[in-house]
């Protein structure tokens, strides 16, 4: 069945209030469209947990910095509609920017320490844009549960913090990274990659996998794990992957650690050609206990 399409924020909120009043459990997958298998896995994760599944498609202007790719961000309405239909989505919420941010809009939601490092340090204002829009999307779609991908690991951590700090009655569900068979993490931005860029970009996941292998073999020094990842990336891609950061962090605080003695994330960002890519791998405190990332 075709999903119902709602553009108007008030109509969206009214629909959600009516469904909630009827006792139905609502789920939200927030997206910026150009849906790929990574988004589909978020929908598949949430679909069995809710009575009504809403997908928002909104390229959020305030989370893009000057000189970033807002103007060329890929869009494919027909493809997105077909993907949502196949995934059993009940409602697509696709508001216009002017309806989300009317001229008098002047509020921001900001999470402090968690946004200081990693992508937050390199993209000033980005996470304020994310938390502001996600807070508004929560208020318009009123979900009981919302699903976010571990690919945007810092985003997930920041949204969990916002939800806890501001007591949003929303359960955040995380879904693991979806990768191509050769390891490349799925991203809407992969469409920008030339064949040569794409080959170079493979170095990123290979670097992370090499670090994980050393971790599984008993290495616990963060500097050694980061070094292994770094060398693997350079061996594979030379200078075609320009790393912006490659850090070994506490999976909750996102603070850099010296020894991997707790749940840890190795996270990186790199420019490949003109395209900025991010990737990460989670190391469980007990390596036998994980299997989340291939
Ligand atoms: O991950 C994304 O696609 C966006 O950051 C989100 C969560 C939809 C907010 O615009």
Cα of 151 vs centre of ligand 1, distance in Å, is: 11
Give the residues surrounding ligand 1 with Cβ less than 6 Å away.
30-32, 60, 63, 130, 133-134, 152, 155
Q: Is the pLDDT of residue 293 over 60?
A: no
Per-residue pLDDT tens over the stretch 164-223: 999 999 999 999 999 999 999 999 999 999 999 999 999 999 999 999 999 999 999 999
221 CA from centroid of ligand 1 (Å)? 33
Q: Is the pLDDT of residue 289 over 60?
A: no
The domain locations on the chain are 4-175, 188-287
Q: Can you tell me which atom of ligand 1 is nearest the CA of 59?
A: 10
| Cα separations in angstroms, 148 against 105, 200, 270 | 26, 27, 22
Any bridge partners for residue 26, and if so which?
52
Q: Categorize the per-residue pLDDT at 58 as very low, low, confident or very high, splitting at 50, 70 and 90.
A: very high
Residue 290 has pLDDT above 50, yes or no: no
The residue contributing the CA closest to ligand 1 atom 2 is: 31
Question: Mean pLDDT across the chain, nearest whole number?
Answer: 96
Asked whether residue 288 carries a pLDDT value surpassing 80, the answer given is: no
The C-alpha angle with vertex 40 and arms to 145 and 173, in degrees rounded to 5, equals: 25
Please determine whether the domains at 4-175 and 188-287 fall in the same fold group of CATH: no
Expressed in angstroms and rounded, the spacing between residue 135 Cα and the centre of ligand 1 is: 11
In the reported structure, the alpha carbon of residue 218 is separated from the centroid of ligand 1 by a whole-number distance in angstroms of 36
**Which CATH number applies to 4-175?**
3.40.50.620
- Number of other residues whose CB lies within 10 A of the CB of residue 104: 5
Q: Tell me: pLDDT of 292 over 60.
A: no
From the candidate CATH numbers 3.60.140.10, 3.30.1300.10, 1.10.3720.10, 3.30.70.1350, the one assigned to the domain spanning 188-287: 3.30.1300.10
Tokens 């990768």 appear where? 179
Could you give the CA distance from residue 92 to residue 80 in angstroms, rounded to a whole number?
9
Query: Span 97-101, mean pLDDT?
Result: 98
Over residues 118-131, the mean pLDDT reads 98
Which whole number is the average pLDDT over 284-293? 56
Average pLDDT, integer, range 10-36 = 98
Mean pLDDT of 226-243: 97
Q: Could you tell me if 270 and 241 are in contact, meaning their C-beta atoms sit under 8 angstroms apart?
A: yes
Nearest-CA residue for atom 3 of ligand 1: 31
Residue with the smallest CA separation from ligand 1 atom 7 is 30
Residue 164: which residues within 8 A CB-CB, separation 6 or more? none
The position carrying tokens 């789920």 is 27
Which active-site residues does the annotation give? 39
């Amino acid at each position: 069945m075709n999903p119902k399409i709602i553009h108007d924020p008030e109509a969206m909120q009214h629909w959600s209030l009516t469904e909630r009043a009827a006792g139905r459990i609502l789920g939200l997958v927030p997206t910026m469209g150009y849906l790929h298998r990574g988004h589909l896995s978020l929908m598949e994760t949430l679909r069995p947990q809710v009575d009504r599944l809403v997908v928002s498609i909104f390229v959020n202007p305030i989370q893009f910095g000057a000189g970033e790719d807002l103007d060329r961000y890929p869009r494919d309405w027909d493809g997105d509609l077909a993907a949502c239909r196949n995934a059993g989505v009940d409602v697509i919420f696709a508001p216009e920017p002017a309806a989300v941010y009317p001229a008098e809009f002047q509020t921001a939601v900001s999470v402090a320490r968690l946004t200081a490092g990693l992508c937050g340090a390199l993209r000033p204002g980005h996470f304020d844009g994310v938390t502001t829009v996600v807070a508004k999307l929560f208020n318009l779609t009123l979900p009981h549960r919302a699903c976010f991908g571990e690919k945007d690991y810092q985003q997930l951590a920041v949204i969990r913090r916002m939800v806890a700090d501001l007591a949003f009655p929303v359960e955040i569900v995380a879904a693991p990274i979806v990768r191509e068979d050769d390891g490349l993490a799925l991203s809407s931005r992969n469409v920008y990659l030339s064949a040569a860029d794409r080959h170079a970009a493979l170095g990123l996941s290979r670097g992370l996998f090499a670090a994980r292998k050393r971790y599984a073999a008993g290495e616990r020094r963060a500097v050694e794990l980061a070094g292994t990842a770094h060398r693997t990336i350079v061996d594979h891609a030379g200078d075609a992957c320009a790393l912006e950061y490659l850090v070994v962090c506490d999976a909750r605080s996102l603070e850099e650690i010296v020894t991997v003695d707790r749940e840890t994330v190795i996270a990186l960002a790199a420019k490949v050609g003109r395209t900025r890519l991010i990737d990460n791998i989670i190391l469980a405190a007990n390596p036998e206990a994980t299997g989340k990332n291939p």
